[in-house]
Structure 1
Amino acid sequence: MKVAIVHDWLTTWAGAEKALAELLNCFPQAEIFTTVNFLSEDANSTLERHVIHTSFIQRLPFAKKRYRQYLPLMPLAVEQFDLKGFDLILSSSHAVAKGVISDPGAVHICYCYSPMRYAWDMQHQYLRQSGKEKGLLSWLMRWQLHRLRQWDFISAQRVDHFVAISNYIKRRIETCYRREAEVIYPPVDVDKFCYDRPREKFYLTASRMVPYKRIDLVIEAFNKTPERQLIVIGDGPDYAKLASLAGPNVTLMGYQPDHILVDHLERTQAFIFMAEEDFGILPVEAQAAGAPVIGYGVGGLTETTLNNVSGLWVEEQSSKALVECLQQFEALKRDNEAAFSPKVCRKNAERFATANFTQAIQSLVKQHLSR
């Protein structure tokens, strides 16, 4: 059986790329198709045994640093991939990968991280953050996003079967594409964490520093309560801005290698997560390391944590609500030392183990191919 796995772009090694790696483990004979491949040498070594096809965007000027600016060309780029002769096409998509044109005899299954957010419900936030709310350029971008939405809907009809990463995304697929989807949670390597190490007094958050992650709210909450210690791991465009907000009880460590992040997850008393995420791998990793999660109770977090068992849900996305939730968490721990036990957190995280993902994907593919 010839298998093609289509991925939007390969530029960083994040959650979608970890899922891609597990898809490749399921189908070691697969060839990869992607708009651009600018992964580091270390990350690329994971994919080295696979043939990788890139689009014409790979060769365009400044594509390595500004590949996102070629988004209007990406629908055309993925439609140029020649998938003739492939029996199974797996698109790993949060943007354009699902838009490939497949052989009529092939089965196309899309593992969907989300419909294209900046073209749908986050359009206005995207325009605000890019400073394009008004003027001629704003209207040009709105027209491009309008056309992108049209293509996104049309290309979704080419997919034979949708698989969503969470029930939250399943609902978005139904809203945006009018398509049904099954849910298979992304793989999380829970076995790399030790969950029974002694806990220390600091709180931890970790993320790429971009606006929607709301690290600013977390820092603001800890600035209001200087008796609490916060460690922040991660880097990104907002790093300097966030560093300027941090009080003396907030330590920004910047980017750290994986073993440093693992070490902090295994020692923190709780992991803070205030983003509205489609799934969120870090909260699952925190629980795998025995740490409860205190986070904004919407989206994927409501599926990956058990409120009052392996974490506490913050009612609204504000620093005030987070401070109140921290107080509640500490009161519950004082009243009952066994509350939010590392063993319970780890048990919940094991629902998302890599083996479960592999078994579910292979079973689903077998089922649809047999039809």
Structure 2
Amino acid sequence: MPLQYALVHEWLTPKATGGSELVVQEILKHIDADLYALIDFESTNPDSYLFQRAIGTTFLQHLPFARNGVQKYLPLLPLAIEQLDLRAYDAIISSSHTVAKGVLTSPEQMHICYCHTPMRFAWELTFDYLRSNRIGQGLPGVLTRYLLHQMRQWDALSANRVDYFVANSQNTARRIWRCYRRPATVIYPPVDIERFPFVSEKQDFYLTVSRLVSYKQVSLIVRAFNQLKKPLVVIGTGPELAQIRNLAQSNVQVLGAQPNEVVEQYMAAAKAFVYAACEDFGIALVEAQACGTPIIAYGAGGALETVRSIWQHPDTGTGIFFSTQTEAALMEAIEKFEVYQKAFQPEWIRTHATQFAADVFSEKFLAFLHNSWQDRLTKNQSCSD
């Protein structure tokens, strides 16, 4: 008899279109699973692949302004995820970057968590979060610090509800160990390589595509290009959009949000893709490489796993790293890139990106599911003996 699967994700809204949502979409192509989330506004979205699908939700679905995101209800998220009744399923897969892994399960069920990251705002980005928000200052700041303390405690405790962790990168696996003291198997997330056109002849501009939030460091990129006077195109939207538009000089175009086809055209044509964030994986870096576009990236986090340094791999390098998140370090990397630009081979860059293709993810994830279930059966048999 086939296993009954439940797949749990944090939230499903038209604005949630990142790498974690791509993982959910790819899993659903191969596994007949019932889908659950804190909130769902995709099953009523005619443009979504989830349109008219039955999706289980929580009481947060009915709270004011939930459509625009449930982060404003942060203290309620652990309580809400624990209200999902999943007793009818043999196996639960959680796609988690905040609280999805905290669902309640029984000893008879298997729980696999595909962890995109432990809660960033509660762990390594705590002080950035406090500095960049008004609720991090004064008396509200004291209460916010206490709330984050409580969230860390719940997050670490809820990790015990997971039988097997999967991480989206070695970087995330290390953070899972640091936060939860749990090992994790690395399976890189799926990237739709075929969506991005390969172009060998590049135009004379640099590109960054990103959500415009503080930790993405887009303002740092803009300041560096202001000084270099080299052409830069910025695509993306977020809380820092107005600030970045005010910061940009005439050599920097800030286009805001753009349709997929426009993003793809710019990625394919750019002479290099610039990225200054420390990412858990960094799907945009792989998407740019799928176009044959070399990378200039901050040398930390997932970038070290998806980009091959031209210094270490002179014949097969796909990018250049800079060592600190400073304008000077980025400017130096850009100048070096222009010297060594002809050393990059667009065809090889595209080939390198294919190791992160969706079919590679599916093969490895399905094998992991099978092996985990067999491992669980073996352990249960040992206990009964």
Pair 1:44–1:104, CA change in 2 (3 A): farther
CA contact (8 A) 1:208 1:235 kept: yes
Q: TM-score, normalised by structure 1?
A: 0.95
CA contact (8 A) 2:42 2:48 kept: no
What is the CA-CA distance between 1:125 and the residue it aligns to? Answer: 1.1
Q: For 1:33 and 1:42, how far apart are their aligned partners in 2?
A: 16
What is the CA-CA distance between 1:50 and the residue it aligns to? Answer: 4.0
CA contact (8 A) 1:234 1:254 kept: yes
Pair 1:44–1:369, CA change in 2 (3 A): farther
CA contact (8 A) 2:207 2:274 kept: yes
Aligned to 1:319: 327
Aligned to 2:156: 153
Q: For 1:41 and 1:202, how far apart are their aligned partners in 2?
A: 39
- Which of 275, 278, 281 is the aligned partner of 1:279? 281
CA contact (8 A) 1:31 1:50 kept: no
Pair 1:184–1:128, CA change in 2 (3 A): same
CA contact (8 A) 2:5 2:89 kept: yes
- Does residue 1:53 correspond to 2:56, yes or no? yes
- Which of 359, 366, 370 is the aligned partner of 2:370? 366
- Which of 321, 346, 349 is the aligned partner of 2:350? 346
Correspondences of 1:243-322 after superposition (within 5 Å): 243-308=245-310, 309-322=317-330
Secondary structure at 2:71 match in 1: helix
Q: For 1:193 and 1:260, how far apart are their aligned partners in 2?
A: 11
Aligned to 1:6: 8
Pair 1:220–1:356, CA change in 2 (3 A): same
CA contact (8 A) 1:13 1:39 kept: no
CA contact (8 A) 2:113 2:165 kept: yes
Q: For 2:348 and 2:52, how far apart are their aligned partners in 1?
A: 38
Correspondences of 1:159-198 after superposition (within 5 Å): 159-198=162-201
CA contact (8 A) 1:13 1:43 kept: no
CA contact (8 A) 2:272 2:293 kept: yes
Deviates more, 1:139-148 or 1:175-184: 139-148
1:79 maps to a residue whose letter is E
CA contact (8 A) 2:43 2:50 kept: no
Q: For 1:103 and 1:50, how far apart are their aligned partners in 2?
A: 26
1:254 maps to a residue whose letter is G
Question: Aligned residues, how many?
Answer: 365
What is the CA-CA distance between 1:44 and the residue it aligns to? Answer: 6.1
Secondary structure at 1:115 match in 2: coil
What is the CA-CA distance between 1:40 and the residue it aligns to? Answer: 8.4
Aligned to 2:29: 25
CA contact (8 A) 2:11 2:39 kept: yes
Aligned to 1:67: 70
CA contact (8 A) 1:84 1:102 kept: yes
Q: For 2:135 and 2:95, how far apart are their aligned partners in 1?
A: 30
What is the CA-CA distance between 1:325 and the residue it aligns to? Answer: 0.5
1:310 maps to a residue whose letter is T
Aligned to 2:19: 15
Mark the runs of 5 or more structure 2 residues left unpaired by the alignment: 311-316, 376-385
Q: For 1:98 and 1:312, how far apart are their aligned partners in 2?
A: 36
What is the CA-CA distance between 1:62 and the residue it aligns to? Answer: 2.3
- Identity across the alignment (%): 43
Pair 1:66–1:195, CA change in 2 (3 A): closer
Q: TM-score, normalised by structure 2?
A: 0.92
1:323 maps to a residue whose letter is M
- Does residue 1:357 correspond to 2:357, yes or no? no
Aligned to 1:232: 234
Q: For 2:46 and 2:152, how far apart are their aligned partners in 1?
A: 32
Q: Which runs of 4+ in 1 moved over 6 A?
A: none
Aligned to 1:329: 337
Q: For 2:281 and 2:354, how far apart are their aligned partners in 1?
A: 15
Pair 1:263–1:176, CA change in 2 (3 A): same
What is the CA-CA distance between 1:361 and the residue it aligns to? Answer: 0.6
Deviates more, 1:256-265 or 1:58-67: 58-67
CA RMSD of aligned residues (A): 1.4
Aligned to 1:136: 139
CA contact (8 A) 1:83 1:103 kept: no
What is the CA-CA distance between 1:197 and the residue it aligns to? Answer: 4.2
1:340 maps to a residue whose letter is F
What is the CA-CA distance between 1:160 and the residue it aligns to? Answer: 0.2
- Which of 178, 196, 202 is the aligned partner of 2:205? 202
Q: For 1:277 and 1:43, how far apart are their aligned partners in 2?
A: 31
Aligned to 1:114: 117
Q: For 2:67 and 2:82, how far apart are their aligned partners in 1?
A: 21
2:271 maps to a residue whose letter is Q
